[in-house]
Amino acid sequence: MSVVRRLAPLLGVAVILVYCLAPFYWMVVSSFRRTSDIFDLSVLPSPWSWENYAAVFSGQNQFTRALLNSLVVAGVTTVVTVLLGTLAGYALARLDFRFKNIVLAVVIATSMFPAISLVVPLLKLFTDIGWIDTYQAMIVPSMSFALPLAVWNLTTFFRQLPVELEEAATVDGCTRGQAFRKVILPIALPGVFTTTIIVFVVAWNEFVIALSMVSRPETQTATVRISQFAGFAGYDSPFGTQMAAGVVVTVPLVIAVLLFQRWIISGLTSGGVK
Amino acid sequence: MRARAGRTAALLLSPSLLVLGLVVGYPLLAAFRESLHRSGDELDADGFVVTGDRFVGLDNYADALGSRFWTAFGNTSFFTVTTVAIEVVIGTAMALVMHRVIRGRGLVRASILVPWAIPTAVSGLLWRWIFQSDGVANQVLATNLLWTSDGWAARIAVIIADTWKTAPFVGLLVLAGLQLIPHEVNEAARLDGASAWQRFWRVTLPLVKPALLVAALFRLLDALRMFDLPFVLVGAQKGSVETLSMLAWSEANQVRYGPAAAYSVILFLYVVVIAFVFVRLLGTDLLGDKRKASA
Amino acid sequence: MKRALALGIAALVLAGCGTSTPEADGRGPITFATIKDGTGTVPKLVAAWNAKHPDQTVRIVDLPEAADGQRQQLIQQAQTKSDTYDVITIDLPWNAEFAARRWITELPRDQFDVDGFFAAPLKGSEYRGKLFSIPHFTGAGMLYYRSDLLAKAGVTPPKTWAEMKAACAKVLALPEAAGASCYAGQFDKYEGLTVNFSEAVSSAGGEVTDDAGKPKLDTPAAKTGLDFLTTGFRDGSVPSDAITYKEEEGRRAFQQGKVIFHRNWAYIHALMNATDGSSAVQGKFGVTVIPGASGPGVSTLGGNNLAVSAFSKKQDTAREFIKYLTNVDTQREHAKGSAYPMTRTAIYQDPELRAKYPYLPVLHDAITSARPRPTLVRYGDASSAIQEQVYAVLGGTTTAEQALSTLQQQLTEFAQGS
């Protein structure tokens, strides 16, 4: 019984790892095959080849620049969204005012319109105000799907925290703002952190808006670049190169989360939450 | 007191509402207007398309409700129900495992991010590759299914690819919810002699319910608007996987913005109804202030 | 929220009042929106132009690689009357629609040395008798066959469908061809199905639409053409998974020896002849004109055209640049760098290029006899309807007669109403 008990979580981990990583494994393996043996079904590429990665970063594709653009767009979107979302989430969770449920409903209703139908009106608007080919033309619309997610998430987390903590802080002489910064935010950190990851991932992967709002290669993001990779002729899309680019945009994200997580967890334990 | 709270709330909420009004409110109004108009469907004597919008009232809506619409409506509903249900179960299981594992938690957490961090267009291609008639799926399963042709196999392929990609989203949110539960609560239940299943069902689940419901709600909204995955994996215009978003896209791609907007508005209203029902049935924790009610 | 609403409404009004762009024949730096060239030849040609025209430089903007994505980009730019693109690349069948919507401007025929082009792509670039775009690349389906197996079975490349079936019967009896099927084209539900269907109809002596755009699908020839595709699936001469084939899946099947005959474009020739061990059929295949019902078949034209965006403010430069990109010398240079089939007949006589691309004579004949896809303003709807009906027939959910009569009716409507 105790053996089962000890092994069960390990088994669970193994299942999760296989579930999540098996298709990704296929992506990595495909990215290391040569274009000429991309159709192989062998478990490991033979021979291994960097050809696809070289193609991703070849001068023609300007992929480094595109990665940088993605970082700027997703980064700014995330910071602004989490900031606005935290303010709104706190208000919705902790303040007592009329129309609260209506605000929550309106916020989530904005997530109900098909994204593809947002593009044309916004494109017209941004053309009129000269925003085409700018970062903000990608950042502001990206908030259309990131913000509702952040607001709802954070509202839920703030609401779950015990009210007593905040009251105790106010009794100790903190203002409401201080109580929020010094007491609520540290405990809510797992929630804020998760929201940050989620917002960053969705912003990093955004494609339709970035494709429409920007046509200059200098401002295009990585996902748009991937869609433009071309093969030898019109019909042979360079599958290996696309997979390599997929690995390139995925792996840094995962590493960043790993690093941040360390930092957050250590921050949490040293913060003395009991 | 309440008035002051109201002012603070207005201050804290206005930036978010302003942004949403600009990037969603305005396009939404534009689409409503567009859906009552038609343009570019007549030629003049020289063969040029007559420009300018024509007001057609609800004609676009009336014309939209054909058999193709109902097929897409059925597909959209079917995909939503199946994928969200599967994702909630898998995601919760993932979160529970991650929560219990001490060593290697970071690794597990990073790896569940992988499916979700891959750009949808790339993962669509990856799954198309995997599901090709001579692809690795048929080899591993020792089957000979035509996953990407029009039929049941295509639906299953879409469900597999979608749950793979988005179950981690549910997992992450539920995990964050689990982390908020004080350890003592579970410990107390254990001391009371509750079995693992009872502890999960009676203690853990009610406490993560808000996080789980938010995750499920957003998955629901996304699944109802599903577009890229069936489009890239199986292809446009295939009756067994065509969704309402794909229908709107295909009208827009033929430069019929009026009918496209009508489809979008119908889909929007459908999502509103579903979300409303969802929140009413399950989500008293989401909107009502439970704490206050119980106090 | 109120403020946001007010802002939104203000913006709505503003957008509604947009004025139309005035006709502008200016010169200056321009933008060329095109599909990325994997071989890097187009950037080289553009650099050569830029060196000669320092005050009218051309900047390349890449469109998405998938045709749907290209179309979406171009439509959006036109909807917003944006002058972001000056010269655009369109699929040949979009010419009529883009012209009718006034998204591209008429090109004066006398400026473009039109005599040297293949007749069919040039005809397809007209709308109501006027030229609106210039053929840049073209293409026609060809029949690839396993020359090694055909020689062994003692048969010659077929000219008709019956000959192809007879040849298959002999070849498939060989031990080397065990498990193979006879033939495959592109039968997934996408643009390629429209191409394969209209090829089958044309090769049976019919046509999908006549020169005036009237559908001709209630003819025996149309039935014969469609039957060629369906009987292939029914009697097993076409492998059942060909219902999922696009260009690349088909090439792979042929390359792996799963089919003896394969209909595809010119680009697969070089890939299948690769000597790095990736192609199992390297040196073992030949290419000929596609077969037909009672003689050589008629292929459907592929290809891309260049057009000047109606919203460009530098139309003179744009036209000059198209002239440059499609003149004989540039096309010859282009052909040396990439295998895209050019649109001027002279290229196909060049001895150096014939040595490099041995299929050029066959391709020349195929393009000469090829037919463009239906020239309709509502081409997109027509193609969708064709895919819908033909795919249903191949899948066995409707009959050929039913499908053709539905199509005849639908295409008639698309041709009139537009």
Q: Do C125 and C216 belong to one domain? A: no
pLDDT tier for residue C12 given thresholds of 50, 70 and 90: very low
**pLDDT at residue C9 tops 50:** no
Are C114 and C67 spatial neighbours (Cβ–Cβ below 8 Å)?
no
Q: Do C37 and C86 belong to one domain? A: yes
Q: What is the pLDDT of residue B93?
A: 92
Q: Do C156 and C296 belong to one domain? A: yes
Buried b / exposed e along B125-139 (16+ C-beta atoms within 10 A): bbbbbbbbbbbbbbe
Q: What is the pLDDT of residue B192?
A: 87
CATH code of the domain covering residue C74: 3.40.190.10
In a domain, C12, yes or no: no
Give pLDDT tens digits for C84-127.
899 999 999 999 999 999 999 999 999 998 999 999 999 999 99
Instruction: Give B 31-90 residues with CB within 8 A of chain C.
Output: 33, 40-43, 46-49, 51
Q: Do C274 and C306 belong to one domain? A: no
Measured between CA atoms, the residue of chain A closest to residue C341 is: A233
Show which of C369, C387, C402 is a domain's final residue. Answer: C369
Low-confidence ranges of chain B (pLDDT < 70): 1-2, 283-295
Are A241 and A52 spatial neighbours (Cβ–Cβ below 8 Å)?
yes
Q: Do C161 and C275 belong to one domain? A: yes
**pLDDT at residue C277 tops 80:** no
3-state secondary structure string across chain C:
CHHHHHHHHHHHHHHHCCCCCCCCECCCCEEEEEECCCCCHHHHHHHHHHHHCCCCCEEEEEECCCHHHHHHHHHHHHHCCCCCCCEEEEEHHHHHHHHHCCCECCCCHHHCCHHHECHHHHHHCEECCEECCEEEEEEECEEEEEHHHHHHHCCCCCCEHHHHHHHHHHHHCCHHHCCCEEEECCCCCCHHHHHHHHHHHHHCCCCCECCCCCECCCCHHHHHHHHHHHHHHHCCCCCHHHHHCCHHHHHHHHHCCCEEEEEECCCHHHHHCCCCCCCCCCCCEEEECCEECCCECCCEEEEEEEEEECCCCEHHHHHHHHHHHCCHHHHHHHHHHCCCCECEHHHHHCHHHHHHCCCHHHHHHHHHHCECCCCCCCHHHHHHHHHHHHHHHHHCCCCHHHHHHHHHHHHHHHHHHC
Q: pTM for the complete prediction?
A: 0.90
Going by their DSSP bridges, the two strands C181-184 and C87-91 should be labelled as unpaired
In a domain, C14, yes or no: no
In a domain, C8, yes or no: no
In a domain, C42, yes or no: yes
In a domain, C107, yes or no: yes
Q: Do C390 and C262 belong to one domain? A: yes
**pLDDT at residue C204 tops 70:** yes
Q: Do C288 and C160 belong to one domain? A: yes
Q: What is the pLDDT of residue C153?
A: 95
Q: What one-letter code names the amino acid at C93?
A: P
Q: Do C155 and C33 belong to one domain? A: no
Q: Which of B14, B18, B20 to mutate to test the interface with A (most CBs of A within 10 A)?
A: B20
How is residue C310 written in tokens?
Answer: 């109606």
Show which of C369, C384, C405 is a domain's final residue. Answer: C369
Show which of C369, C387, C407 is a domain's final residue. Answer: C369
**pLDDT at residue C414 tops 80:** yes
Q: Do C213 and C269 belong to one domain? A: yes
DSSP state of B51: P
**pLDDT at residue C23 tops 70:** no
Low-confidence ranges of chain A (pLDDT < 70): 1-2, 232-234, 262-274
ipTM of the complex: 0.88
Q: What is the pLDDT of residue B45?
A: 83
Q: Do C97 and C54 belong to one domain? A: yes
Domains of chain C: total: 2
In a domain, C18, yes or no: no
Q: Do C279 and C156 belong to one domain? A: yes
In a domain, C216, yes or no: yes
* A211: nearest CB among C64, C79, C267: C64
Q: What one-letter code names the amino acid at C103?
A: W
Are C348 and C360 spatial neighbours (Cβ–Cβ below 8 Å)?
yes
Q: How far is CA C283 from CA C51, C280, C287, in A?
A: 41, 9, 11
Which of C254, C13, C232, C296 lies closest to C145, judged by CA? C254
DSSP state of B204: I
Q: Which of B242, B254, B256, B257 to mutate to test the interface with C (most CBs of C within 10 A)?
A: B254
Q: Do C28 and C116 belong to one domain? A: yes
Establish if B159 touches chain A: CB-CB under 8 angstroms: no
* B146/C384 CB distance under 8 A: no
Range of the domain at C193: 142-300+376-416
Which of B178, B165, B162 lies closest to B97, judged by CA? B178
Q: Which of C9, C62, C191, C312 to mutate to test the interface with A (most CBs of A within 10 A)?
A: C62
**Residues of chain A positioned with their CB less than 8 A from the CB of B120:** 205, 207
* A245/B122 CB distance under 8 A: yes
In a domain, C364, yes or no: yes
Are B198 and B118 spatial neighbours (Cβ–Cβ below 8 Å)?
no
**pLDDT at residue C21 tops 60:** no
